Amino acid sequence: MSHTIVNPADGAVVTTVTASSIEETDAAIARAAVAQRDWAAVAPSDRARRLRRFAAAVDGAVEELAAIEVRNSGHPIGQARWEAGHVRDVLEYYSAAPERLFGRQIPVAGGLDVTFQEPLGVVGVITPWNFPMTIASWGFAPALAAGNAVVLKPAEWTPLTSMRLAELALEAGLPEGLFQVIPGKGSVVGERFVTNETVRKVVFTGSTEVGRHIMAGCAAQVKRVTLELGGKSANIVFADADLERAAATAPYGVFENAGQDCCARSRILVERSAYERFMELLEPAVQGVKVGDPADETTEMGPLVARQHLERVRSFVPDDADVAFRGTAPAGPGFWFAPTVLTPARDSRAAREEIFGPVVSVFPFDDEGDAIGFANASEYGLSGSIWTRDLSRGVRVARAVESGNLSVNSHSSVRYATPFGGFKQSGLGRELGPDAPLAFTETKNVFIAV
C-alpha cells in the first residue's frame, strides 16, 4: 500500500511513499536488535565520533532538508532551515553523552558498590506531522547516544525529512539497522512498536487520545514510555508589562507554524485595565503577519498541513463566532487559513480545546489569582508566557502555573539544552536537556565484596 504526499501550499502531489506492513515492521525491529548489540559494545569515544559525523552530515544537508520540509509540510523556508539546523545542534549536543553517562560509587559496608547506565535495547519513536524532523531528533539523538537502536515511524502526511535523515545516518557511517525510519500507518507500524516485545521503550509525540491508548498498550508489557501530547497554553499579560512588545510578539507566540504547535499560546489573558490598549496594539500586529508562499524567504506563516486539518480548524470558527479581527491568507489552491483572533466565553469550545491552527482567544482577567486560576483551568499544561515588568511576580506566577515550560517576557519553549515536556494531560517524562539520555537507560547496581 502507498500513501500520497501532497504539497499543502498548492495541493499538488509531491510523491508517494510505500506504507510498511506488520511483517516489515517486525523485520526492521529484529535488524535493530542485532545492530544495537554491536553498537553498545562500541567504545564511547567512537560512538561520540560517529554521532558528530552524523551531525556534520545533517549540517551539510540543511538546505536540502529545509527544501523537502517546505514541500512536504508547507513550513516557511526560514523556519524549515532553523528546524534542520536544530536537528544538527541536537545531534552535536548528545554526541557528548556517550562519554558522560556516569554511574555512581555508593558507600556501603563490606565492599564496593557501583551503578551503570545500561542501554534499553530497541527504542520505537512515533512522531507527529507538525515538526517532523525536530521532534524525531529529540527521540533518536539521545537514544542512540545512550547505546540504543532506534526505529522511527513518522506521521503519514510528513515522512520525507525523517526518511532523508535515516539515509544521512548511513552515509555518515552509523551501522546498518541502527537507525531505521519505517513509514506507515499509526494503527499498523506505531501499534506494532507497542506490541512487539523487542521494543523496550516507546517515545510518542502526538494527540492526548492516541497517547493514552499507547500508554495502556505499553502497560501490558511494563514497557517504558515517554509521551509529549497536546497543549492549550496561556500567554498572561499584566498591565505593567511592556505592552507594545507583548502585543507585537503575541502573534508569533501562537501563529508560528500556522498554530500547529503544541506550545502555541492559544489563550491570551490580559489584565482588564490594559485590555483595550492591548487589543488596539494586537490588531496591526496580527494583520502584519506575512502569510503566503512557504518558499518565499520573507514568508512568516504558511498553509495548514492538510485539507482534513483545515476543515477541523474551520470548525472552531463558525459564522457566529466572536471574531475580533483577522489577518490575511492567500486564496486559491492550498490549505490556507488567516490568523484569527476570537473573544469567546471562557467555557466555549475554542477556549478549552486545542485547535492546532492560527486561531487565538483573548480574555480579560481581574487580578493575579484570576489569571493563574484561568491559566490552570485546562486539562493541559505544556507551555506558557508571563509578561510583566515586576520580575518577582513573573517568577511567582511561573511557579503557580501548572505547566512544564514557562517563559517570562518571551515566548520561547524549546532549547536543546533545557528539559521539555508537559504537566497533566500534556504528557509524561521529559525530552531534551542534559538528562535526556538517562531516560534511555536502566540503572544497574553492582556490588563487589572486598
- Give Cα 183 distance to the centre of its chain: 19
Q: Which of residues 390-419 bind ligand TAP (CB under 6 A)?
A: none
* Under rule CB under 6 A, residue 86 binds ligand TAP: no
- Closer to ligand TAP by Cβ: residue 127 or 343: 127
Sites for ligand TAP among residues 97-156 (CB under 6 A): 126-130, 135, 153, 155-156
Quote the least distance from Cβ 19 to ligand TAP, whole Å: 9
**Alpha-carbon gap, residue 295 to 292, rounded angstroms:** 9
Sign of the torsion formed by the C-alpha atoms of 113, 116, 121 and 126 = positive
Q: Which three cell numbers stand for residue 129?
A: 506531522
Q: Which of the residues are catalytic?
A: 228, 262
Query: Could you tell me which stretch among 20-28, 226-234, 294-302, 335-343 binds ligand TAP (CB under 6 A)?
Result: 226-234
C-alpha cell at 109: 559496608
- Under the binding rule (CB under 6 A), the answer on residue 210 touching ligand TAP is yes
- Which residue has its beta carbon closest to ligand TAP? 186
Q: Are 152 and 162 spatial neighbours (Cβ–Cβ below 8 Å)?
A: yes
Task: Choose, by CB under 6 A, the member of 230, 292, 294, 384 that binds ligand TAP.
Answer: 230
Cα 138 to Cα 101: distance, rounded to the nearest angstrom = 17
Instruction: Name residues whose C-beta falls within 8 Å of residue 408's C-beta, 6 or more positions apart in sequence.
Output: 385, 386, 387, 388, 391, 394, 395, 398
Residue window 171-200: x/- pattern of binding to ligand TAP, with contact defined by CB under 6 A: --------------xxx--xx---------
> Would you say 55 and 93 are in contact if contact means Cβ atoms under 8 Å apart?
no
Closer by beta carbon to ligand TAP, 101 or else 401: 401
- Among positions 269-308, residues that touch ligand TAP (CB under 6 A) are none
- Residue 291's SS3 state is strand
Nearer Cβ to ligand TAP (353/442):
353
Does 207 participate in binding ligand TAP (rule CB under 6 A)? yes
Residue 267 binding ligand TAP, by CB under 6 A: no
How would you list the strands of the sheet with 199-205, edge to edge?
A: 179-181, 149-153, 122-126, 199-205, 224-228, 427-428
Q: Are 148 and 122 in contact (CB under 8 A)?
A: yes
Cβ proximity to ligand TAP, 218 vs 282, nearer residue: 218
CA angle 409, 410, 415 (to 5 degrees): 140
- The full length of the chain comes to 450
Q: How many residues bind ligand TAP (CB under 6 A)?
A: 30
The residues that touch ligand TAP, with contacts defined as CB under 6 A, are 126-130, 135, 153, 155-156, 185-187, 190-191, 205-207, 210, 213-214, 228-231, 262, 354, 356, 382, 422, 427
